[in-house]
Chain A
Amino acid sequence: MANALEVNSVKSRQRFSWLSDRMLMNIFLWPTLLMLLIITLFPLIWSLYLSFTDYSVNAYPSWLDARWVGSANYNFLLTSKEFWSRFQLSAQFVIPTVALEFFLGFGIALLFNRMTKGRGFITTLIMIPMMLTPIVVALFWRFMLQADIGVVNYFIRDVFGGPTISWLSDRKWAMISLVIVDAWQWTPFIMLISLAGLSAVPKYLYEAADVDRASGWFKFWNITLPLVSPLLLIGILFRLMDTYKLFELAWVLTGGGPGDFTKVLPLYLYRMAFGEFATGKASAVGYIMLIVIIALSNLLIRVLNQTKSEPGK
């Protein structure tokens, strides 16, 4: 039996002797690479070209009719007050949201890290918001934040005697509402990443610190934080990218209102691309957004590399 198998194996080897490892690699690699080229690189280059034209996918019979306008779209955007105010608005959303998610997520992870019983169960429960579709989250929060009949105001006003807050229609509160809802959904993500980082910190470091009678703060600052920070930075990087391109929550919760006080960049881009069908300008907005996010990511990746190269600092 063993001999028969061996003979078969030898035969197979002889039959496929021409199939080298390198060739096998090519067989698996090329289709994937080509697919990537078609579905990722081509649209990227194509939209870059369109961003230098006055093309409107809706108004022009063909892309051949588009006129080359050079940097006019970029000039228009970079000198447009509205475009910059959309940028500011996006920053007003991204910075507090990521900060809130970071502090809450990391804080909860620190607490959970000390738990011994039921940690897995509670972690699973806390992760539920993250598993929901953003549209669904936005729809039920829209009901909950309704000023008149929403459950949030019911507690604030009827239970605690506070004022009625127009969460979604008052410009002071609309952005805060978006921050709260996004933080509700995505804090568990930071918590999960932090928990993974905290679990990986070697216990002997704490034991050594205990021998030296180090304070809790000392242990946190000099052991926990440096060792968890690479993972935390990755979490922050993901959240930065995600919040920067927030669309669903703003679309459903406020529709960009009141007025245009929550019309963040992706909403501005969407309306330009699919409302006005100004494809050329919308491509330029997309590219500016892409450049900003690449710059931000690079910055964080540098910090991440620095942290990795100086462990335990």
Chain B
Amino acid sequence: MSKKMLWITFSLLVVFSLVLTACGQQQTPAAEQPAAEQPAEQPAATNPPAEQPAVVKPELSITWFAWPPCDALAQLVQDYPDATVKVNCVPYAQWHDSIFTDFAAKGGVDVPIMDSQWTGEAVKGGHVLDMSEFIKNETAMDDFVPLALKAYGEYPADSGVYYGVPIMADVQEMAINKKIFAEYGIDPNSLKTWDDLLKAAQTIKADGKYDGFVWFWIGSGDQIQTAYNQLAWSWGGELWDSSTYKFQGVANSPENVAALEYASELYKTGPEGAGNFSYGEVSDAMCNGKAAMTSIWVGVMSGWTDPKNCAAAADLVFAVPPAGPKAHVLSLGGMGISVSAYTKNQDAAFAFLKWLESNETQTKWVTMGGYSALNSVLASDAFKNTAPFNPVFAEAYPLVKDFYNLPEYYALMTKQGEYLNLAVTGQMTPQEALDKLAEEQQAIIDQAYPGGPPK
């Protein structure tokens, strides 16, 4: 071999070794090696410390989005003795993408916390493990709120096959500034229907001193969608026909149009330009005492009872959101926790979930700002006494309903958010917006299921 060739070969070797080093898994220190690589049975701690092999814990990672319950979970998992659990609280906008990018890379997160609508997408891609047996044998299955168990992990609907177990139950509650209400002589308990609420909001907004009702009207994520959905259902509407996969005539039904017209009237009682309001802006508006009321997820309200975080904390009272003309339905919030099909610590993940879903841990979880889907925990004093909005939670949670759990939900939801946002902010009429929405959602579904609904 000539010297020239020798040097070229050497260069190539250098490059390949660099690439391999970059792509290879980082060598963890001996003390952090996974349990599987260590002797399975350690002798009892009778040997002198110097001779005892290091106690090795498997590592697990959880991905959720950054909000108070995520911080609470990070705190809670510190108590788990059998694994080192790391909780990644990613920005809300990147939550879905972060988990599914890990799935696409066939690695990353071990136990993802996923929104209820994502189950179909995750199952279709083969990214999460079937947890049916685990739920039956290792959890208090009968103690779960039935709807929560179905919504946070069952796929397909009514199949009895579960890919997730509830970790965070959530529902919207009304937060009302009683001081502002008193100023206008309105009784907070008088808001029995959405019409009562609108009248109160308009009265408060009329003189411009306060905003009547503030909501998360932004079109991205699932924010305006979950706000509007509970109105549509309460007006007697539906988002789609799940038996025929029809959106045309359903998503733009007269009931839905009436609900959206109502939403656009309600929008006018809020702060100007609130069309891009997300949870952060709603929190600010409520906590600085400028807005009289909102309906928001309890998980977001964790900090609202502390005057250090929320100036108006002492003035806030909580209630179940009102009923509509036809029904009393609320949007389902909350999430299930699943086991990634790509985790290298499958046994450790299931062992961790067994601990997490135990009554004892769930009771501790609710005292830290989490919300359990176990009936016994929801009925406990420990839960009811933790936050002033917790007693309302037990009343509101049975009223929940979830929306499309289809692998195509992202495209459907994106369209819904865009058109609802335009209609609510008065940049499109509700009829026009829902007609276009129904047409485009139908096109998405027709393209995905050209032969009609799957048998």
B56 CB-CB contact with A under 8 Å = no
Among A88-96, A160-168, A178-186, the stretch in contact with B: A160-168
A26 CB-CB contact with B under 8 Å = yes
Taking CB atoms, residues of chain B closer than 8 Å to A275 are: 96-97, 410-411, 414
- State the Cβ distance, B101 to closest chain A Cβ, in Å: 6
Taking CB atoms, residues of chain A closer than 8 Å to B219 are: 255-260
Contact residues of A between 119 and 171, Cβ < 8 Å to B: 146-149, 164-171
Q: Is the CB of A251 within 8 A of B7?
A: no
Closest to B285 in A: A148
Say yes or no: A259-B414 contact (C-beta < 8 A), given A18-B3, A59-B124, A168-B273.
Answer: no
Taking CB atoms, residues of chain A closer than 8 Å to B14 are: 31
B1-13 CB mask vs A (1 if < 8 Å, else 0) is 0011001100110
The answer for the CA separation of A147 and B290 in the assembled complex, in Å, is: 14
Q: Is the CB of A277 within 8 A of B428?
A: no
Interface residues on B, range: 35 or more
Q: Is the CB of B15 within 8 A of A31?
A: yes
Say yes or no: A170-B126 contact (C-beta < 8 A), given A26-B4, A27-B11.
Answer: no
B281-324 CB mask vs A (1 if < 8 Å, else 0) is 10011000010000000000000000000000000000000000
- State the Cβ distance, B277 to closest chain A Cβ, in Å: 8
Q: Is the CB of A255 within 8 A of B101?
A: no
Taking CB atoms, residues of chain A closer than 8 Å to B96 are: 275
B259-288 CB mask vs A (1 if < 8 Å, else 0) is 000000000000111111000010011000
Q: Is the CB of A170 within 8 A of B427?
A: yes
Closest to B278 in A: A255
Taking CB atoms, residues of chain A closer than 8 Å to B427 are: 170-171, 258-259
Taking CB atoms, residues of chain A closer than 8 Å to B126 are: 61
Q: Is the CB of A274 within 8 A of B101?
A: yes
Q: Is the CB of A26 within 8 A of B7?
A: yes
B19 CB-CB contact with A under 8 Å = yes
The answer for the CA separation of A221 and B219 in the assembled complex, in Å, is: 49
Taking CB atoms, residues of chain A closer than 8 Å to B220 are: 255-257
Say yes or no: A34-B15 contact (C-beta < 8 A), given A18-B3, A166-B275, A276-B410.
Answer: yes
Interface residues on A, range: 35 or more
B162 CB-CB contact with A under 8 Å = no
The answer for the CA separation of A131 and B220 in the assembled complex, in Å, is: 29
- State the Cβ distance, A268 to closest chain B Cβ, in Å: 10
- State the Cβ distance, A72 to closest chain B Cβ, in Å: 12
Contact residues of A between 232 and 282, Cβ < 8 Å to B: 251, 254-260, 263, 271, 274-277
B252 CB-CB contact with A under 8 Å = no
Say yes or no: A146-B281 contact (C-beta < 8 A), given A26-B8, A31-B11.
Answer: yes
B421 CB-CB contact with A under 8 Å = yes
Taking CB atoms, residues of chain A closer than 8 Å to B127 are: 58
- State the Cβ distance, A145 to closest chain B Cβ, in Å: 9
Query: Which of B104, B272, B274, B418 has most A Cβ within 10 Å?
Result: B272
A30 CB-CB contact with B under 8 Å = yes
Taking CB atoms, residues of chain A closer than 8 Å to B100 are: 58, 274, 277
Taking CB atoms, residues of chain B closer than 8 Å to A35 are: 15, 18-19
- State the Cβ distance, B2 to closest chain A Cβ, in Å: 10
Taking CB atoms, residues of chain B closer than 8 Å to A104 are: none
Q: Is the CB of B271 within 8 A of A148?
A: yes
Say yes or no: A58-B103 contact (C-beta < 8 A), given A31-B11, A258-B276, A259-B219.
Answer: yes
Taking CB atoms, residues of chain A closer than 8 Å to B7 are: 23, 26-27
- State the Cβ distance, A200 to closest chain B Cβ, in Å: 40
Taking CB atoms, residues of chain B closer than 8 Å to A168 are: 273, 275-276
A201 CB-CB contact with B under 8 Å = no
Taking CB atoms, residues of chain A closer than 8 Å to B97 are: 274-275
- State the Cβ distance, B91 to closest chain A Cβ, in Å: 10
A48-69 CB mask vs B (1 if < 8 Å, else 0) is 0000000011111100000000
Q: Is the CB of B8 within 8 A of A147?
A: no
Q: Is the CB of B414 within 8 A of A271?
A: yes
B54 CB-CB contact with A under 8 Å = no
Taking CB atoms, residues of chain A closer than 8 Å to B411 are: 275-276
Q: Is the CB of A166 within 8 A of B273?
A: yes
B425 CB-CB contact with A under 8 Å = yes
A38 CB-CB contact with B under 8 Å = yes
Q: Is the CB of B8 within 8 A of A257?
A: no
Taking CB atoms, residues of chain B closer than 8 Å to A257 are: 218-220, 275-276, 418, 421
- State the Cβ distance, A144 to closest chain B Cβ, in Å: 13
Q: Is the CB of A164 within 8 A of B273?
A: yes
Q: Is the CB of B275 within 8 A of A169?
A: yes
Q: Is the CB of A23 within 8 A of B272?
A: no
Taking CB atoms, residues of chain B closer than 8 Å to A61 are: 126
The answer for the CA separation of A26 and B5 in the assembled complex, in Å, is: 10
- State the Cβ distance, A241 to closest chain B Cβ, in Å: 25
Q: Is the CB of A254 within 8 A of B276?
A: yes
Question: Given A59, A170, A260, A271, which contacts B407 in the complex, CB threshold below 8 Å?
Answer: A59
- State the Cβ distance, B11 to closest chain A Cβ, in Å: 5
Taking CB atoms, residues of chain B closer than 8 Å to A26 are: 4, 7-8, 11
Taking CB atoms, residues of chain A closer than 8 Å to B104 are: 57-58, 277
B80-109 CB mask vs A (1 if < 8 Å, else 0) is 000000000000010011001101100000
Taking CB atoms, residues of chain B closer than 8 Å to A60 are: 125
Closest to B428 in A: A259
B121 CB-CB contact with A under 8 Å = yes
The answer for the CA separation of A60 and B14 in the assembled complex, in Å, is: 34
- State the Cβ distance, A294 to closest chain B Cβ, in Å: 28
B228-262 CB mask vs A (1 if < 8 Å, else 0) is 00000000000000000000000000000000000
Q: Is the CB of B8 within 8 A of A259?
A: no
- Which 8 residue pairs across A and B have the least CB separation, nearest first? A147-B273, A169-B275, A166-B273, A255-B220, A259-B422, A148-B271, A57-B104, A274-B97
Q: Would you give 19 A-B contacts (Cβ < 8 Å), ordered by A?
A: A26-B11, A31-B12, A148-B273, A148-B274, A164-B272, A169-B274, A169-B276, A170-B275, A170-B427, A171-B427, A255-B276, A256-B220, A257-B418, A259-B219, A259-B427, A260-B219, A263-B418, A275-B411, A276-B410
Besides A164-B273, A258-B422, A258-B427, 18 new A-B residue pairs in contact (Cβ under 8 A), listed by A number = A18-B3, A27-B7, A30-B12, A34-B12, A57-B104, A59-B124, A148-B271, A148-B273, A149-B284, A169-B274, A251-B93, A255-B93, A256-B418, A257-B218, A257-B220, A275-B97, A275-B410, A276-B410
B-binding residues in A (CB < 8 A): 18, 23, 26-27, 30-31, 34-35, 38, 56-61, 146-149, 164-171, 251, 254-260, 263, 271, 274-277
A-binding residues in B (CB < 8 A): 3-4, 7-8, 11-12, 14-15, 18-19, 93, 96-97, 100-101, 103-104, 121, 124-127, 211, 217-220, 271-276, 281, 284-285, 290, 407, 410-411, 414, 418-419, 421-422, 425, 427-428
